[in-house]
Amino acid sequence: MFPFNVRVYGILINEKEEVLISDERTENVSFTKFPGGGLEYGEGLLEALIREYQEECAFDINVVKHIYTTDFYEKSSFNDSQIISIYYQVKNTSAIQIRTTTKAFDFDPNEIVEDNKRQSFRWVPVPVLRTADLTFKTDQVAWTEFLKTLK
């Protein structure tokens, strides 16, 4: 049996037409992606996405619509599993009070770091975010698909 790693991510656009992205560094690997993460055993996709936003961003969301599900093979950058990623457009239902920055990988120097993982968030204007700004192919494809829904 081959291991699968199911991931779920949310694309959040604010009232200024900016998208929330996450810059992360773990195990000396830096990457830019949408907020979200791994499905835990016994969870549904939407439940996992809501949990991930609460854990990472400390605010609540509603899922608006499905955007994209991985339709090609992608090996994990961290282990030998196959990644399956599902993307949804989301909307915040509680106040957004996380620290955001305009500079990539601008980590809070006062943040307590667990498991050597650093994370910072940025709001990027929708017309400014390029697919090449996102590290992983699945995020790039999801962003392209999301932009099609805006036209």
Q: How far apart are CA 68 and CA 121, in angstroms?
A: 22
Q: How far apart are CA 63 and CA 10, in angstroms?
A: 8
- Please, which residues bridge with residue 11 across strands? 89
Give residue 112's identity as a one-letter amino acid code: I
Q: What is the pTM (predicted TM-score) of this model?
A: 0.93
pLDDT of residue 112: 75
Instruction: Report the candidate in 25, 39, 143 with the shortest Cα–Cα distance to residue 89.
Output: 143
Can you give the pLDDT of all 151 residues of the chain as single tens digits? 569 999 999 999 999 999 999 999 987 889 999 999 999 999 999 999 999 999 999 999 999 999 999 999 999 888 889 999 999 999 999 999 999 999 999 998 887 777 778 999 999 999 999 999 999 999 999 999 999 999 7
pLDDT of residue 1: 58
- Tokens representing 8 are 């779920």
Q: How far apart are CA 16 and CA 124, in angstroms?
A: 10
